[in-house]
A and B are shown apart, each in its own frame.
Chain A
Amino acid sequence: MKRMIPILVILGILGGLFVLGGGLFVIDQAEQGIIVQFGEPVGEVITQPGLHWKRPFIQEVRRFDKRLLAWDGDVSQIPTLGREFIVVDTTARWRIVDPLQFLRSVRDELGARTRLDDILDSVVRDIVSGADLEEIVRSHDWEVDPNKVDEVIVREDVALQKPKMGRERLEQSMRSAASRLMPGLGIEIVDVRIKRINYIESVRRQVESRMVAERQSIAAKFRSEGEGRSQEILGQMERQLREIRSEAARQAEEIRGKADAEATRTYGAAYGADPEFFAFFRTLESYKAMGKNTTLMIDADSEFFRYLKTTQQP
């Protein structure tokens, strides 16, 4: 019997460890837990991380994530209010706020995700199909002033008005609609956001070809602008040329005129002293200027020929 003691001690220690292992459990910083006894939750939710105790063997721990969780929606094709088909991809953040309710209603995360898929997808679909594309794309702080935008650079069929709701408010209404639809799940939806939004393939091609046409018209505008500016510059040049030339001609004529007047005055002052002699003098001067091609006719009785006839004094 005495020999059996060490064996009993070892067995006792092993048994004690077994019970301890069944009763002690760790709740991680990221977790919260519920103790379940025969499928029925017992006691408070354990939110404090660390070492905890439960009754071994008859109780078990269900662990739930305490952190913020991400939900990513399915990419879905939705028509907007303006009948444009778009592809919308949404994302949401949620957390388990009431593990007891969560456990009762959806059991685990997989169950929760299925419910979230159903609710969020339908909410997103409802809200997107009830809004214009502009409302989904633009936000409340849209700053573009439709009056100040160069008309050529934007689509003609798109108004540039500030959205009535805008992206954030649509997202908010998605969140509140989804929250309304899921009471009693122990879930809080923290936010719903539109992650991606785009045209479906066929609409995208249409939009692209319209963008091409738009660019081509802008290119044409630039070319004709260049032509116009060039003509304008050349016209200005022509005007300047004419101004410069006519101004010069005017000044030249003025100068000449003044000079002529001055000369006339000078001549007048000199010749006025003896007009008769001036006539004589000037006539002789002009005789001297006669050239080879002149035929001179002189009266035979003229002074010049007088001494050819006689040397007598008259």
Chain B
Amino acid sequence: MTMYQLRRWLPIVGGGVLLLIAAIAATSTVYTVQPEERAVIKRFGAVIGTTDPGLHFKLPFGIDSVQHVATERVLKEEFGFRTATAGEPSRYDARDFPDEALMLSGDLNIIDVEWVVQYRIGDPIKFLYNMREPTRTLRDLSESVMRRVVGNHLGSEILTTARVKIANTTREEIQAAMELYQTGIHIVTVELQNVVPPKAVQPAFNQVNEARQERERMINEATRQANEVIPRAKGEANRIIAEAQGYAAERANQALGEAARFRAILAEYQAAPEVTRRRMYLEALSTLLPEVGSVLVIQEGQNSPMPLLHLREGRVPTEVVR
């Protein structure tokens, strides 16, 4: 290569190199921040600020560098289970994660707790530069806090009434730890999923539920029987009383009627006692005699009575009548 040739080619090569450098500079000065992100800009490794979504410029050649952090997205960590594919419906990993999920309650029973921590990256600078592995720390702390809270309750409470309280306390404590370490993570919710006794104990827990049902059933049955019998007995009682009242009315009326009749007759009788007396006597006998089965007439001084009339049977001889 002669000097002449070099002199001829140098501008071309130099121009090409400059063009290439310009092109690289042009592409590395522009960057886009997606709507759900914030970008952290560093100049020579030192953070100089964050930028909002949109198109932005920076200095090229590695002077400025950009890190994108999804601040608006709600992220989640799952404990004791894993979602295999999210969707409608979501499918879950068939594996269990007993190391994560099994823990001790305050009464030293074993309990299987699955939960989800939802969080957002609130401060991208803190998230990137205060802690090396913030999500791993989040996981470690979540497990630690959940075990502390569960260990502070009785097993029976955890399975029934204390769920909401546990979730809230856990959220607050994880949040407090996140603030203590300045991880820039904001905990949105802690949600308890399956909270169950360990697998080997579950049938026994079901038995308890069945027994509880059985108890309710027996009580209901007895109550039903009582409800059936008592109103009927009350009705019967009212009937007995009503009957007695009926009897009372009847008895009073009867007495009043008979008394009135007696008074009426007595008034007549007093007008003519002898005649009335005799008339009444004879009338009584004449109504009586046709009805009576047999009549015996007794003669004084005679021992056995003798039949007078057998009104129903004509066989009786009339001679006996004297």
Contact = CB atoms under 8 A, between A and B. Distances in A.
Do chains A and B stick together as partners? Answer: yes
Provide the main secondary structure of the chain B interface: helix
Interface string A140-182: 0111100001000111001010000001100000000000000
A287 interface: yes
A221 B215 CA distance: 9
Contact of B140 (A91, A142, A255): A91
A287 B214 contact: no
Contacts of A30: 128-129, 132
Contacts of B181: 68, 93, 190
B144 A91 contact: yes
A37 B265 CA distance: 153
B132 A70 contact: yes
Contacts of B147: 194-197
B154 to A, nearest CB: 6
Interface residues of B, number: 115
A288 B107 contact: no
Interface stretch (B17-25, B51-59, B287-295): B287-295
B219 A229 contact: yes
Nearest to A154: B107
A81 B214 CA distance: 43
Provide the main secondary structure of the chain A interface: helix
B45 A31 contact: yes
Nearest to A246: B237
A204 B110 contact: yes
Interface string B228-250: 01100110111011011101110
Interface residues of A, number: 120
Contact of B110 (A153, A211, A273, A301): A211
Interface string A67-79: 1111010000000
Interface in B214-273: 214-219, 221-223, 225-226, 229-230, 233-234, 236-238, 240-241, 243-245, 247-249, 251-252, 254-256, 258-260, 262-263, 265-266, 269-270, 273
B46 A295 contact: no
Given A91-B144, A230-B221, A301-B300, A139 B151 contact: yes
Interface stretch (A98-106, A123-131, A236-244): A236-244
A313 B287 CA distance: 25
A29 interface: yes
Interface of A: 3, 26-31, 48-51, 65-70, 72, 91, 93, 133-134, 137-139, 141-144, 149, 153-155, 158, 160, 167-168, 190, 193-199, 204-205, 207-209, 211-212, 215-216, 218-223, 225-227, 229-234, 236-237, 240-241, 244-245, 247-249, 251-256, 258-260, 262-264, 266-267, 269-271, 273-274, 277-278, 280-281, 284-285, 287-288, 290-301, 303-305
Given A67-B130, A299-B297, 17 more contacts: A26-B45, A28-B46, A49-B46, A67-B129, A154-B107, A154-B154, A167-B148, A195-B143, A211-B109, A212-B203, A218-B208, A230-B219, A244-B230, A255-B241, A295-B296, A296-B289, A299-B299
7 contacts: A49-B45, A91-B141, A237-B225, A267-B258, A291-B291, A295-B292, A298-B298
